[in-house]
Structure 1
Amino acid sequence: MTGLCILFADIAESTTLFEKHGDEAARNAISSVLDVLLKEAQKHQGELVKTIGDEIMCVFPKANHALLAAVDMQNAVSGNFVLGNHPINIRVGFHFGDVIEEDNDVFGDAVNVAARMTGFAKKEQVITNSITFEQCILPPFLNHRSLGRTKVKGKLLPVEIIEIIWQQDTSQVTRVTSALDIKVPVTKSQLEIELNGRTQIMTDQSPTKTIGRGDDCDIQIAMLLASRYHGEIQFSGGLFKYTDESTNGSWVQQGGDEPIRIHRESMVLHNQGTIAFGEMDFSRPDQLLSYKIIK
């Protein structure tokens, strides 16, 4: 086992680039951005592990190297890349921990946690956790803030999420209200989840339930357009919330309301409803996740 800091950086809203500008233009733009991200990583002793579509995965010897690389990545991309009239932004997450190095790749719980940090990030954000942040020395031109605690798969206790404020003019930083920030009285509700005849019950003590095509997901889905890791349901701040982390998005239909598309963002689940993965198709009940709040 080796202690390394794993960093993921990906293009925010990349699906929109392909939809609006076509495959070739989008691929070229994404490739240019990823080249810049790699150069910034290498300035801080980062090594590329692999490129995954619109995302790069790098490792660093120390957490502070990853923090500085993440800040430089944001500064290098923000305001400097536009495809048509669509600004290209990135989101970055990193975590330090023990990994297994094998066949020019790295594996282990630390890799999964780093990926979750990136999943929590919105465009133009750098996200880590308090465990990793404590190993960093924050330069005077940077700031940080806590986004609260949340459950992370593989961790018994909630993890405190930290955002690195990389913009030097903090007066321009918009307060981000995310699922992690919302504080409401804790309820004793339960969430009943049903997919293809299989029912599960979540409580306020249940760990996060991951959803996707991957074998390691808690709830596996077989939809063609679903991502390997598509999203998750968690109890946070007294509420059950669904967070989409996919390439193509999710559609949530609550009660008799019109379906709402969410893409790499969270939605509070109320009463009962259904979730479609990858495309807005509610005609196949066997491919829909149904949920119901039980008071």
Structure 2
Amino acid sequence: MVSTTRNLAILFADISGSTKLYELLGNDEARAIVDHCLTIAKRACEDFGGRVVKTIGDEVMAAFPTADSAAQAAIEIQTGISKQRTSRGTPVAMHIGFHSGQAIEDENDVFGDCVNVAARMTAFASAGQIFTSAHTTAELSPVLRQRTRDQDAQTLKGKERDIGLFEVIWGDAEDELTAMSPRLARTPPKVTLTHAARAIELSEERSLLTLGRDARNDVVIADRKASRMHARIERRRDKFVFIDQSSNGTWVTVEGEPEITLRREELILRGRGQISFGHAFADDPTEIVVFTCQG
């Protein structure tokens, strides 16, 4: 089969807490419940024009021609699963995510960035929830779009920009939409780093910086106690995080606070301050990085 690329909506439906089911109910009943839930999910996908690509453990992956059909299938899955109970009377739940975009179909499987983002939408969802992206929400028909609520933006690994997250409301939960208060606008994060006479600004456009003795780093630290790949600074939603990956550690001073030592640890940068590599600031104040956070 020759691979083809086209627009699809990719959906993942995963049973929540399946490991706990096996622990509480035993293998036979848990397996029967999992199989029954997967059957409900697969049938709903097919009823709304989707193709079940595969089942992965306790998860179903399906491809749909439109975002609407994926959303309708997701709602149908949650409606069906919400009626299921174990022999102990406890409810069973699934968490679902879907995302639309260009995908590669090859040998009955589907690949590409669209699939990866859909999987991340599923990971963000809790039991009983359906999550999708802002991009996909914009493709929904007005009736279905009214059933969504903004869940702010999330940072996805490998993505320069945050991805807006929306929850699809299903069942009798529409009242929750009107009860939601307006979400405050998020101030885009920025941090300015100064090393010697050079100033570097990190923001949503540039969200990663590496520091160390090696010449391949964005900021080269000329201190023999610094490691070759000493640390990195990366954006996570509306914050920038300093991540030490060195042998000797990093000393960070936030203005007005005591100096902090990091050894293979992380610190959210805030306010103003300075960073020393491999030793305390007082031991050698010449080779430092000064930071100023905004937002």
TM range (shorter): 0.5 to 0.7
Q: What amino acid is aligned across from residue 28 of structure 1 in structure 2? A: A
| CA distances 1:219-242 after superposition (whole Å, capped 9, x unpaired) | xxxxxxxxxxxxxx97123376xx
CA contact (8 A) 1:10 1:91 kept: yes
Report deviation, 1:162. Answer: 0.7
- How many angstroms apart in 1 are the aligned matches of 2:176 and 2:136? 26
From 259, 266, 270, the equivalent of 1:292 is 266
Correspondences of 1:104-253 after superposition (within 5 Å): 104-139=108-143, 143-171=147-175, 206=207, 235-238=236-239
Corresponding residue for 1:29? 33
SS of 2:161's equivalent in the other structure is coil
| CA distances 1:71-96 after superposition (whole Å, capped 9, x unpaired) | 11111111333352431101110011
Report deviation, 1:203. Answer: 9.6
TM-score normalized with structure 1 length? 0.62
The alignment yields a C-alpha RMSD, in angstroms, of 3.5
CA contact (8 A) 1:17 1:83 kept: no
Q: What amino acid is aligned across from residue 265 of structure 2 in structure 1? A: Y
The alpha-carbon distance between structure 1 residues 125 and 74, as it changes in their structure 2 partners (threshold 3 A), is: same
- How many angstroms apart in 1 are the aligned matches of 2:48 and 2:137? 17
Q: What amino acid is aligned across from residue 110 of structure 1 in structure 2? A: C
- How many angstroms apart in 1 are the aligned matches of 2:101 and 2:169? 23
Flag structure 2 segments of 5+ consecutive residues without an equivalent: 194-201, 209-233, 242-259, 270-295
From 91, 94, 106, the equivalent of 1:90 is 94
Corresponding residue for 2:8? 4
From 102, 114, 118, the equivalent of 2:106 is 102
- How many angstroms apart in 1 are the aligned matches of 2:184 and 2:95? 18
**Matched residues, percent identical?**
32
SS of 1:29's equivalent in the other structure is helix
CA contact (8 A) 2:189 2:239 kept: yes
| CA distances 1:32-74 after superposition (whole Å, capped 9, x unpaired) | 0000111111110011100001100000111110011101111
- How many angstroms apart in 2 are the aligned matches of 1:159 and 1:92? 17
| CA distances 1:170-202 after superposition (whole Å, capped 9, x unpaired) | 3478x99xxx99979958599xxxxxxxxxxx9
TM-score normalized with structure 2 length? 0.62
CA contact (8 A) 2:50 2:62 kept: yes
- How many angstroms apart in 2 are the aligned matches of 1:150 and 1:272? 29
Flag structure 1 segments of 5+ consecutive residues without an equivalent: 191-201, 208-232, 241-270, 275-289
SS of 1:51's equivalent in the other structure is strand
Corresponding residue for 1:219? none
Report deviation, 1:273. Answer: 9.8
Report deviation, 1:169. Answer: 3.9
Report deviation, 1:143. Answer: 1.7
Corresponding residue for 1:38? 42
The alpha-carbon distance between structure 1 residues 73 and 189, as it changes in their structure 2 partners (threshold 3 A), is: farther
Corresponding residue for 2:198? none
Report deviation, 1:156. Answer: 2.3
The alpha-carbon distance between structure 1 residues 101 and 140, as it changes in their structure 2 partners (threshold 3 A), is: closer
Report deviation, 1:100. Answer: 1.2
Q: What amino acid is aligned across from residue 23 of structure 2 in structure 1? A: E
CA contact (8 A) 2:8 2:64 kept: yes
